[in-house]
Structures are given as structure tokens and as C-alpha cells.
Chain A
Amino acid sequence: MRHTPPRVALFATCLVDLYRPTVGFAAIKLLKEAGCTVVVPEGQTCCGQPAYNSGDKADAQDIARSVIALLEPYDYVVVPSGSCGGMIREQYAALFAADPEWKLRAERLGARTFELVSFLVDVMGMTGVEARYEGMATYHDSCSGLRELGIKGQPRALLATVAGLTLAEMEDAEVCCGFGGTFCVKYPDISVRMVSDKVERIRATGADTLLAGDLGCLLNMAGRLQRLGHTVRVRHVAEVLAGMTDAVPPIGEGQARQGGAR
């Protein structure tokens, strides 16, 4: 048993910072409920993935160095995204393959870095949440979280304890939604086709709510659902687990349409 609560640095990610601050506050609430002391280190920007995946290694390394330096002092780093979490946990060390000093620092930080929901379940031993959400949800497994970090059962286990919520599995939940960072604007035709397939799978479940753990995928799926006029409510899983769905309308829904009704 731990006597002093772990000091957890929340790395909010650039998309949460820019698009969906509520996810950051939901993460803080959940981490506190799990018994953590939460710090939001000042000066955080982005994990550097756009540069890394565009082949711009020098910029990615620059950004990674400042993220490592910023987050090193804490017991854990928690990220409300499998993609950005995977970047820090798995890819930073690869980025510094030729630089032993930074590689070591990257590895040490990586070993203490977790995606939010898997951290709550696997590290903090959380088995349930005090939250209520009326609806039938389907959960999309985002690629990096699933294949890089092994996130599959953790969000489902916690969602099962949300009062009022039922979970309907979609077919091909593990198939990419077509976001892929810059891929979605570099190859929009292919990306839209992939997200259209995903939308069909979502619709086939009859669920009124779509949840996932990565904002990039959520923006992509919400954007396509709404372009096609479907009224599925799209939310980051942390919003539901933290019981903060009253704080903000679903992704892509305005103040006038809160709740997804139309």
C-alpha cells in the first residue's frame, strides 16, 4: 500500500487543450478519485507526434526533449489519449536511439507514462466509478491505445459501472477510423471512406452514444456522423466516467442542441 499519494503530471495533449478542455478536467477528477495528487505542469504544448509522423525528426526531438524535461519530476505522467500516451511511452526512446543520454531519460519517463483509463485500472486499481449516464454507448478502440498500449478491457470495465449506461459492441471496433493525424487531410478520400465504414458499424449497433479514448478519432467520427445527419452523441470516455457530461454538449453539438436531440 502506498502511504503518500502519487504525484501525477497530467499531460493534457494539444487537442484536449484546444478543443475539449472538459476532458482535461474529467481526467483531473478521475485521478483525484483514484487517490492521486494531480499537477498540470505549465508550459506543455504537444507531444510532437505531428512532426514525428511527418518525418521531421529534428523538430520531434526538440519537442520531445522539452516534454521530457517538463514531466520528469513526477511519479507518473498521465495522458487522456492512447496516441499521445504511446508517443511518450513507446516512441520517445526510439526517437533518441542514437543519443544514449536522452534515450535513457526517454525510457525512464516512458516507463512512468500511461494513458488515463489504463492508468486508473492497471496502476491505481480502480474498479468502478460513481457516475450516471443515460444511454446506450458503443466504444471504438483507437489504434495506438489498442495495439501500442494494450487498452481494451479497461475502459469497458469502468463503463460497466456507470449507472444507466449500457454498452453495445460494434463490429470491427478495432479497425482504424481513418483519422491517422495528418493522414486525414493528406488523403481525405481514403480517410472519409474509412470513417464512413466506421459510421456504418456505429449505426448498426443502434447505440445513441459513441465513446473512445482519443480526441483525434472522436473529432473525425463526430465530423462524419454529423455530416451525414446522424444524431449519435460523441464523447471522450473520460467525460462519461467522470460524470461530467452535463458540463459540455457532445462533440460537435452546439449549446442549442445539448443532449443530441434534434
Chain B
Amino acid sequence: MLTTSPAFKQNATTALADAGLQKALANAKAGFMQKRARAVAALPEFEALRDLGRDIKNHTIAHLDFYLDTYARNVEAEGGKVHWCETADDARRAVVEICRSVGARTVTKGKSMIGEELGINEHLEAAGIEPIETDLGEYIIQLRKEPPSHIIAPAFHLNREDWIEAFREKHTELAPGRVLDERKTLIDEARTILRSRFLAADVGITGANMLIAETGSSVIVTNEGNGDLTQTLPKVHIVLASIEKVVPTLEDACTILRLLARSATGQDFSTYTTFSTGPRRAPDLDGPAEYHVILLDNGRTSMIGTEFQEMLRCIRCAACMNHCPVYGAVGGHAYGWVYPGPMGSVLTPSLIGVDKAGHLPNASTFCGKCESVCPMKIPLPKMMRHWREREFERHLSPSAARFGLGVWAWFARRPWAYRLATRIGAGTLGFAGRKRGRFGSLPLAGGWTGGRDMPAPEGETFQARYARLRKQGLV
């Protein structure tokens, strides 16, 4: 997938000026937050579950080789096939080969962020295979030819008007004068269109919310049921999953499921939670004849043993972005790659390089809200700071900022010079601003005064006044 992460700042400015986007963000965001809060309040053991979830994932990541081996062995024992893919290229090749081996012309797809990471749709198209997104949100953005802006609600950035417009433009086989103004009519229309595609598809591709080592199962959670149709109707089911999705046992998976839906959508459980284990067996009424798992690394093993290892606990619930004031202001596309919001600000530099994604870990106030709602207790701000340290070490941060910081640090380490400089600075600004109390603009402070006045200092520094009053015996 192409990245516009280096242009984050411009992307953000554009997003802030986009009235439609701002409306969509405001509508969607509040709902997610309220629903999560209600679900969490209704479950007294939620905090204890977070600790448990964190411990399960920490244990798994610490023994990742063992659990991946176990998982793969069990998949194959059930008649499935695991494709170990170190890079995105390996994974794309494997997917296209499987599709070609059965002469696939169309592929239905469930929602998959790994699919986005691979840019799998473009590659399928290039290979002459038509991919059809079946998740409603993914379907609309496929019609609009744009990437998702959110990891569980791909069309987070759209309003109902955008849906109606896209449906009218693309569903040309339907009556142009039809009424499309309600959510239900839109869903019904998508369902009608998609139904025939489900039946015609040769291959179904889904993601996986988890992989279970002890059973060799993949798990998907959905609210539309489209994922189930995607994986049971075609002859071949391909699961796209990254290596950190594995958990040891079915019970561990259930613990994490209790956290996942509550954190994501505020549901106790998603409408559909589906476990797939191997291809169809003789007595099964339905299911694919072939079951493949694309097990993707794509840079994740290089995070193990670094300060970013904890990021591998992420279960992609999107609570961090749902609660992030920066995401809420600019939306997901501004981040410029697959994963937006706080989790993206940590993960994206790991996967595409901090030289390209350097803005992301900087565009945070470290307000800490993300960490406070993360079901896996991932210390997201801490890891964003680690990225800033890597950038600083590699001299990737802007030279003006480095220079300013250097000057400031020089003074901060020398109390005598610091006292002198602050006395002069506070005195000058305090004197200049004493009448009005603030400045509308100041040299070198355009970043601040572009949208805010700059309050004037009182004039005398605290330390100077304290020393003076102390000498006079007044304090």
C-alpha cells in the first residue's frame, strides 16, 4: 500500500478543513466512547480481565515460536495448509498462487487489515482476479476506491449522503429513482448485490481476530455475518493472519473475546463469532474444500526483544483511536498508511520505517487516554516516546526543533545562565505585555499565535521574586 505518512501534517490540515469528514467523525466517535463506557461499567471484572489478557499475550509472544509451531501442526492435522510468509511479497504471491490453482475468477473478502497491509486487492486485480469486499464498510470504500480510515469501521469517515451517492453511481443496474434515504434500505441494497457475488465466488478470503494454537482454529468476529458467507460458500478459504494473532488455548481466546467486543463496539459479544478449523470434513454440511492460512511476519519478529515488543499484544479493537482526540480531529486517512490512531503511531514506524512514519509518534499530546482504554494495557505513549528517541538518535527530527531544544537544554543544565535568561525574557515580555496582558503575535511564536493569544508573563520570575522577598524577610 502506498503511504502518505510523510505528509501527515498537510493531510491533517486538509482533514480539518473537510466539513463532511468533520461531521462524520463527530457522529461516529461519541457513539463508540459511550458504548464502551457502558459495557465496561457493566462488567465488574473488566480490569482484572485486562490484566489477564495482557498476561496471556505476553506469555504467547515470549514463546511465539512454540505456539506458532503448535498452531501450524494442528492446522495441518486438520487438513489445512499453513503458508509461512516472511514478507508482504511472499504473502501476495502465495494468495495469488492459491487462487490460480483453482482457476479463480472472483474472490469474496471479509474484513482484513492484513489484506490492507498486503494491498491484496490491487494484486488480485493485477492477476486478473476480481476481489469483492463483503463487509458493508469495506464494500462502500471499495466502490469509492479508497482505503479504510479505521481498523474496525472502515467507512468511519463517511456520512449517509456519501453512501447514497456511491450506491447511485455504482449500482447502475438498479432503478435510478429508487428511495435510498434510510440505513435499512442501504443495507438491503448492498445485501441484494452481494448475495449473487457470494454464490459466484471461487475463493473466500478472511482475516483472523485470533489463531488458536491448541486447536489450529482461526477466529473471526463480525456483526454482519458476511464473514461466515465468505468463508463457508466458496471452494477455498484463505485466512490472512499475522503471527502475533496466535493464542495458546481456546480458553485464552475466550478471555480475549470478552475484552475485544466491549473495547471495540461496546457489545458484550459481537453478533457472530466464528471458529474455523480446517476444510470441510465428510459429515460437514458446508465449508470449503481447501483451507489455507497465510501466516505473515512482515517485520513483526524484528519488534521482539525491542522496546516495541509490547505492541504485539494489540488485538485491533480500535479503542485507542476511538478515544484519541487527535484521531477524532483528523480521522484515519491523515495517518497515511494502514493503521491509524495511537496503535498506528506505534506500529506503522515499525512496519514501514520511522523515516517515513516519523510524524505519527510525534503527533500526540501524550494525554494517555489511549493507554487507559487499551484492553491489552499497551503503554502506547511510552512507545511513541521511544520512537521519538530513535528519531532523535538518527537525526531525523527537524533541525530547527533540534537547535531550539539544544539551546534550551544548555540553559536548563546551567542554573545561573537559566536564571539570567529567564529574568531577561520574563522581564521583557512582562513589561511589553503589562497593559493588555497578552500578545496577538510574537516573533518565532507563529505556531502558538496563529490560533491563540500568548499570555504575557507577570514580569519578575518566581525565583527572582522569591530571592528578593526572602532578603526582605517577607517569605
A143 to B330 CA separation, bound complex (whole angstroms) = 20
How long is the Cα–Cα vector from A18 to B435 in the complex, in angstroms?
Answer: 18
Indicate if the CB atoms of B391 and A257 lie closer than 8 Å. no
Contact between A22 and B413, CB atoms less than 8 A apart: no
Complex contact A175–B325 (CB within 8 A)? yes
Query: Is there an interface contact between B463 and A12, defined as CB atoms closer than 8 Å?
Result: yes
Asked if A189 is at the interface of the complex by the 8 Å CB criterion, the answer is: yes
Q: Which chain A positions have C-beta within 8 A of B390?
A: 55
Is B143 positioned at the interface, with any CB of A under 8 Å from its CB?
Answer: no
Chain A interface: which of B59-67, B201-209, B448-456? B448-456
With A44-B415, A227-B451, A252-B455 as known contacts, state yes or no: A147 contacts B369, CB within 8 Å.
Answer: yes
B426 at the interface (CB under 8 A from A): yes
CB within 8 A of B382: which of A54, A94, A253? Answer: A94
Which residues of A are found within 8 Å of B13, using beta-carbon distances?
189
For B385, the chain A residues whose CB sits under 8 A away are: 52-53, 55
Q: Is the pair A192, B452 in contact by a Cβ cutoff of 8 Å?
A: yes
Residue of A nearest to B8 (CB): A187
Majority SS at the chain B contact face: helix
Question: Is B363's CB within 8 Å of the partner chain A?
Answer: yes
Please tell me if the beta carbons of B453 and A223 are within 8 angstroms of each other in the complex.
Answer: yes
A254 touches B438 (CB 8 A): yes
> Is B272's CB within 8 Å of the partner chain A?
no
CA distance A223 to B426 in the complex (A): 17
Q: Which residues of B contact A22 (CB under 8 A)?
A: 458
Contact B409 A187 (CB under 8 A): no
At the interface, yes or no: A164 with Cβ under 8 Å from chain B? no
Pick the contact of A219: B12, B455, B475 (CB < 8 A): B455
The answer to whether the Cβ of B309 comes within 8 Å of any Cβ in the partner chain is: no
Check B367 against A180 for contact (C-beta < 8 Å): yes
- Stretch of A59-67, A115-123, A129-137, A202-210 at the chain-chain interface: A59-67
The smallest C-beta distance from B336 to any residue of chain A, in angstroms, reads 14
Q: Give chain A nearest CB distance to B354 CB in angstroms.
A: 10
B447 near A186: Cβ-Cβ < 8 Å: yes
> Using a Cβ–Cβ cut-off of 8 Å, how many residues does chain A contribute to the interface with B?
76
Are B329 and A40 in contact, CB atoms less than 8 angstroms apart? no
Q: With A176-B365, A178-B365, A180-B365 in contact, is A226–B438 under 8 Å at CB?
A: yes
Cβ of A154 < 8 Å from any Cβ of B? no
Interface residue tally on B, bucketed by range: 35 or more
Cβ of A108 within 8 Å of any chain B Cβ, yes or no, is no
Contact A28 B366 (CB under 8 A): no
Q: Taking each of B367, B447, B452, B463, which has the highest tally of chain A beta carbons within 10 Å of its own beta carbon?
A: B452
Tell me, in angstroms, the Cα distance from A63 to B291 when the chains sit together. Answer: 58
Is A185 an interface position by the 8 A CB rule? Answer: yes
A249 to chain B, nearest CB (A): 6
**Is B274 located at the chain interface by the 8 A CB criterion?**
no
Return the contact of A54 from the options B401, B411, B453 (Cβ within 8 A): B401
Contact mask for chain B residues 361-380; partner A; CB cutoff 8 A; 1 contact, 0 none: 01111111101100000000
**A43's contact among B366, B415, B475, by CB below 8 Å, is which?**
B415
> Which one, B412, B418, B451, B462, contacts A48 given CB within 8 A?
B412
Inter-chain CA distance A84–B50, complex, in Å, is 28
What separation, in Å, do the CA atoms of A130 and B397 have in the docked complex? 49
Taking a contact as CB atoms under 8 Å apart, the answer to whether A59 and B329 are in contact is: no
- Minimum C-beta distance from B356 to chain A (A): 17
A98 to B455, CA, bound (A): 40
Chain A binding site: helix, strand, loop or mixed by DSSP? Answer: helix
Interface residues of B in 317-331 (CB under 8 A from A): 325-326, 329-330
A21 vs chain B, min Cβ distance (A): 4
Known: A21-B465, A57-B392, A194-B329. A254 touches B409 (CB 8 A): no
Q: A257 CA to B455 CA in the complex, in Å?
A: 13
| Chain B neighbourhood of A254, CB < 8 A | 433-438, 456
Give Cα distance in the complex from A55 to B382, angstroms: 11
> Binary interface profile of A, 30-50, with partner B (CB < 8 Å = 1, else 0)?
000000000010111110101
Assess the B392–A187 pair: CB atoms within 8 A.
Answer: no
CB interface residues, B 411-439, toward A, < 8 Å: 411-413, 415, 418, 422, 425-426, 433-438
Minimal beta-carbon separation of B255 from chain A (angstroms) = 25
Residues of chain A with a CB closer than 8 A to B146's CB = none
Which A residues are in CB contact (< 8 Å) with B51? none
B369 touches A222 (CB 8 A): no
Which chain B positions have C-beta within 8 A of A188? 447-448, 450-451
* A169 surroundings in chain B (CB, below 8 A): none
Bound CA span A28–B452, Å:
31
B451 contact set on A, CB distance < 8 A: 188-189, 191-192, 195-196, 224, 227
Contact between B409 and A63, CB atoms less than 8 A apart: yes
Cβ of A109 < 8 Å from any Cβ of B?
no
CA distance A188 to B445 in the complex (A): 11
Neighbouring B residues of A174 by C-beta, 8 Å: 369
A244 within 8 A of B: no
B301 at the A interface (CB under 8 A): no
- Please name 19 further chain A to chain B contacts, defined as beta carbons within 8 Å, in addition to the given A148-B368, A192-B452, A226-B438, sorted by A numbering: A14-B412, A18-B422, A19-B458, A21-B461, A24-B466, A28-B475, A40-B466, A51-B412, A55-B390, A55-B397, A94-B382, A144-B366, A183-B364, A184-B447, A187-B363, A224-B451, A249-B437, A252-B437, A252-B455
Q: Show 26 residue pairs from A and B whose CB-CB distance is below 8 angstroms, ordered by the A residue.
A: A12-B463, A16-B462, A17-B462, A18-B426, A19-B457, A19-B458, A25-B462, A25-B465, A25-B475, A46-B412, A57-B392, A147-B368, A175-B325, A175-B369, A179-B365, A188-B447, A189-B12, A194-B329, A222-B438, A223-B438, A253-B437, A253-B438, A254-B434, A254-B436, A254-B437, A254-B438
Chain B residues in the interface with A (C-beta under 8 A): 9, 12-13, 16, 325-326, 329-330, 362-369, 371-372, 382, 385, 387-393, 397, 401, 405-406, 408-409, 411-413, 415, 418, 422, 425-426, 433-438, 440, 445, 447-458, 460-463, 465-466, 475
